[in-house]
Amino acid sequence: MALQFSLAFTTFLLLLSLFWLLKVWRRIKPQNKVQKLPPGPRKLPLIGNLHNLIGLLPHHALQQLAGDHGPLMHLQLGEISAIVVSSPRLAKEFMKTHDLAFAERPELLAPKIISYGGSDIAFSPYGDYWRQMRKVCMLELLSAKKVQSFSSIREEEISSLIESIHSSEGSPINFTENICSLTSTVVCRAAFGTKCKDQDEFTLLVMESSALAGGFDIADLFPSKKFLHVLSGLKFKLEKIHGKIDKILDKIIHDHRENPMSAETGNGELWKEDLVDVLLRLQQSGSLEFPITTNNIKAVILDMFGAGTDTSSTVIDWAMSEMMRQPRVLEKAQAEIRQAFDGKKRIHEKDIQNLNFLKFVIKETLRLHPPVAMLLPRECREPCEIDGYEIQLKTKVIVNAWAIGRDPALWHDAESFIPERFANSSIDFNGTHLEYIPFGAGRRMCPGITFGMANIELPLAQLLYHFDWELPGSMRPEDLDMTEFFGAVVRRKNNLHLVAAPYSPSE
């Protein structure tokens, strides 16, 4: 009995001593500055911070939350641990300094279904396949030379649009629909070699899939709860859209294989090759380290179509909307163009390089209305310390480019449309100025900037040159609705309707 008591007492003393030593050790050891998570709003059980996003578009809600919790903020979005970045200094940490650690994409339902398992360029997992396809894209599909080879297509289609608007005879036109039709026709001809008879349906399907790909559906926020994928209806909608897209692409690829165009011209150029021809040539040549499948080709085509159509038309739509709200800017842009080209019936692509104010208008539009308001999300590939916080593996990273572009600490009168702010400024959208990142930065930066800008600059210049524009009826500039619709691309919620009065250049 005495022995048992002695053992028990000794054990108690040992435990007490260990407890005391542990407390002393904790006090004297150097404090680890790394905190597990950046600050963020209080979470609720199960849903985390989803309640903080209710009532506002996601990029607006995240901007407000960052105002309270800082430019590096942690949110628990259902099952997803997410970091929200809202400053250029921190954006540089994720997209430049530690770019490799955050080069992965999270798995989202929409690209997984629509883009053939995420085998496109935008959402493909980081690795050798992605590097190969990005290289193909930059050298074969979207090089400056290749984009320039499509200039005649752009000029022809813009001329057709101008003729169509002339025929409206002063009646209001649906500007949004006209621009979307223009860009989709240009991209169809560049990608497929001709106008696609299913073009309208294909464009609508791509835009529908974009609208469903915002990444904030319940299926993406609770990926392990497969029954929610069914209950939300997202999976069914995406599979239905994908089935229709796949049939159209199957026919296009089949036609190209059955009736291959002669790529070689007399002087050895490849100007007749459309984008499908290029991809099929690479597939058949066996020259790639990772052979590409037909589904890979389809996924890349969808990337090209989405970037060239949805993004470009949205930028033109917002640019015209902002100018209609600022008649001073509209008049100044038209004066520059008409002074440069007065007397000409048509403007060619090579003629617009010196239209500086037009370029400022486009830059300012991209600042206020980046097509992808929150850059395509990244995912942490390896634990990483950022700004004294530890970012864990698989953490989703959201860079709010929309909020950075409207930060009053970075931009004077940040909410106002002032193209002149870019005069005498070296700031550009090439990914080196992190306060201005409409196309992202780093390894996963958008590779289609040259293609996209070509589909923006010439159409906008032509439309401003050939027409005087007014709002319909008695609508005043301040009455113009600027409400956004959130998806993978942030468009106008309601289409823009305008009245066009033909301008006659002096001879």
Alpha-carbon gap, residue 242 to 311, rounded angstroms = 20
Half-sphere exposure of 464 (CA within 13 A, CB side): 33
53 with 216: CB under 8 angstroms? yes
Q: Is 3 exposed, middle or buried (0-12, 13-18, 19+ CB in 10 A)?
A: exposed
Alpha-carbon gap, residue 183 to 186, rounded angstroms = 5
Alpha-carbon gap, residue 157 to 195, rounded angstroms = 11
Provide the edge-to-edge strand list for the sheet that holds 173-174.
Answer: 173-174, 497-502, 467-470
Question: Quick one: which of 453, 464, 167 has its CA closest to 338?
Answer: 464
Alpha-carbon gap, residue 213 to 270, rounded angstroms = 35
75 with 96: CB under 8 angstroms? no
Sequence letter at residue 13 = L
188 is in an annotated binding site: no
The token pair at 90 is 């921190």
How many CB atoms sit inside 10 A of residue 395's CB?
20
The token pair at 285 is 């040549």
Alpha-carbon gap, residue 255 to 484, rounded angstroms = 39
Alpha-carbon gap, residue 239 to 106, rounded angstroms = 20
Question: In sequence order, what are the beta bridge partners of 468?
Answer: 501
Question: In sequence order, what are the beta bridge partners of 44?
Answer: 48
Question: In sequence order, what are the beta bridge partners of 497?
Answer: 174
Residues 6 or more apart from 205 whose CB is under 8 A from it? 241, 244, 245, 248
Sequence letter at residue 128 = D
Alpha-carbon gap, residue 330 to 324, rounded angstroms = 7
Question: Quick one: which of 216, 460, 486 has its CA closest to 371?
Answer: 486
Residue pointed to by tokens 């380290």: 289
The token pair at 229 is 């994928």
The token pair at 501 is 């009065």
DSSP codes joined into one string, 219-232 = HHHSTT-HHHHHHT
- Rg (alpha carbons) of the chain, rounded to whole number: 27
DSSP codes joined into one string, 5-52 = HHHHHHHHHHHHHHHHHHHHHHHHSPPP--BSS---PPPBTTTBTGGG
Annotated binding residues for heme: 446
Annotated binding site: 446
